[in-house]
Amino acid sequence: MPNEIPLRYGMNPHQKAARIFTAEGDLPVEVLSGAPGFINMCDALNAWALVKELKAALGLPASASFKHVSPAGAAVTAPLSDAEAKAFFVHDMADLSPLAVAYARARGADRMSSFGDFAAFSDRVDRTVADLLAREVSDGCIAPAYDDDALAILREKRGGKYLVLAMDTDFEPPETETRMVYGVTLEQTRNAALFGPELLANIVTKKKDLPETAVRDLVVGSITLKYTQSNSVAFAAGGQAIGIGAGQQSRVHCTRLAGSKADTWWLRQHPRILEATFKDGLSRAEMNNAIDQYLLRDPTPLEERQWREAFDPAPEPLSAEERADWIAKLGGVSLASDAFFPFRDSIDRAAQSGAAYVVQPGNSARDDVVIAACDEHGMVMAFSNLRLFHH
């Protein structure tokens, strides 16, 4: 492999001179199709690190759907229910491989945000993964390898402009990493800490039982946060992130954002949506937009007109009571935070979205207040003693 690849441009088209390179040795990534841009590579390398760590921590095929250097979703493989398959738009695809299921879950976390994503895969991409990517609006993908028939499909996507990257699985970044900001170089030890089940041993609440599914989901949420712009909080269930609150300055705002996304993820599985039909000729993206507009609490007249025009026939809107009753059925959710909770407000908000299991670093001056809040809500909380900021 070469030690330098020219890029189409930097973060914006007017930033013409752009490249990726290594000071020593060859690049660990190879371009198999398309031409990368600066943001493509930022997404690809962060997403690869995420899925590599998920596979190492849980031993399961993993996938991530990245947008603007934060995951819109991330998941390991886990059986899909009929409702999930329909909500994730894969109910018409038979015999999905475990890796394809992981991507269906990753993209299904927040289908609106995954529009035009960069997809990452922990394992060799097979035909079913390629078939799934071929029907979605996606900018590129990265994986350790591709089956010949899968690569042929991906090379045809977007008229040959779809970006396909192959990553060297043996590559390990140097211990020290540098970054230049406004002409000044910053240097630090790379965040090589691995988040595994062993970091959930210090349970500080009255309730102590952590089922295996909760362990899996807390690990998924925590590793997802390691590659999410901070501050960040993640809700996880079924082996996938279901709501990610990224880049907020306040911890409770992270939780509110992530909680609202988790609520939407669950509302998309409401029978009224699953049984609804769309007018002929709509793209998958247009269907997603219509569902999102339908689920708005207070849509504008234009938004309501648009979703009504997309369905055939238009379903009745969910009332406030129907929304509340359905969200109340969401339970057993895991909540991960990249830093400690300074107040109980995030715990109270998380309880409204079914959170039953929590992991956070701990070491706040108000740990006792946060623990008491978890006890009030009947949650299990572990202190990992590991902060996972990512900037």
Cα dihedral across residues 146, 149, 150, 154: positive or negative: positive
Q: Is-catalytic flag, 270?
A: no
- 40, 46, 231, 288: which one is catalytic? 231
Candidates 390, 47, 337; CA nearest to 190 is 390
Backbone angles phi, psi at 124, to 5 degrees: -60, 130
- 68, 86, 253, 279: which one is catalytic? 68
CB atoms within 10 A of CB 286: 14
CA distance 157 to 32: 13
Q: Is-catalytic flag, 206?
A: no
CA distance 100 to 131: 9
Regarding beta strands 163-167 and 29-33, do their DSSP bridges make them parallel or antiparallel, or are they unpaired? antiparallel
Backbone angles phi, psi at 277, to 5 degrees: -120, 150
CB atoms within 10 A of CB 297: 9
Q: Is-catalytic flag, 390?
A: no
CA distance 89 to 295: 17
Q: Is-catalytic flag, 231?
A: yes
Torsion of CA 41, 45, 154, 131, to 10 degrees: -140
CA distances from 239 to 108, 218, 233 (A): 12, 9, 16
Angle at which helix 38-58 crosses helix 212-226, to 10 degrees, equals 150
- 52, 55, 67, 377: which one is catalytic? 67
Residues labelled as active-site residues: 67-68, 231, 391
